[in-house]
Amino acid sequence: MSEGRRRKSSKGGHFYLASHGIRVESSSNYLAVWDPNLYHATSLQSIPYSEKKGPLIQSGLAIVTSPRLPGAFKKFLEGKISDEELSKACRGEEDDAVVYTLGDDENDQM
């Protein structure tokens, strides 16, 4: 997300989704959402490294979840794990011996 951008878009800072050949030109108040498994990048901005107070300060936010969570939630809904086990999985504290993935049903039958 970019807020209050006052510089020209020719100064860089664009988002690229290379897997689809898409460039999102940087601008104020935009948000880009994508599958992190796809090839993506941002271009460097043409701003002096000594610039500390603006007119452009860059910041970012990433919200990333474990690929184990959908499988853990599925097992919880099926009654295969308890509330406490689901809570541990959400915090990343599940037992190493238990792997929560969507494809674990085959392993349950062993």
What mean pLDDT is reported for the chain? 73
On the question of pLDDT at 77 being above 90, the answer is: yes
Q: What is the pLDDT of residue 95?
A: 64
pLDDT score at 4: 45
Asked if 60 and 39 count as a contact pair (C-beta separation under 8 A), the reply is no
Query: Is 16 in contact with 44 (CB distance < 8 Å)?
Result: no
Answer for the pair 25, 5: CB distance below 8 angstroms, yes or no. Answer: no
**Partners of 24 in beta bridges:** 15
Question: Which residues have C-beta within 8 Å of that of residue 109, sequence separation ≥ 6?
Answer: none
Question: What does the pLDDT look like over 22-31, one tens digit per residue?
Answer: 998 887 777 7
More confident site: 88 or 3: 88
pLDDT at residue 71, rounded to an integer: 84
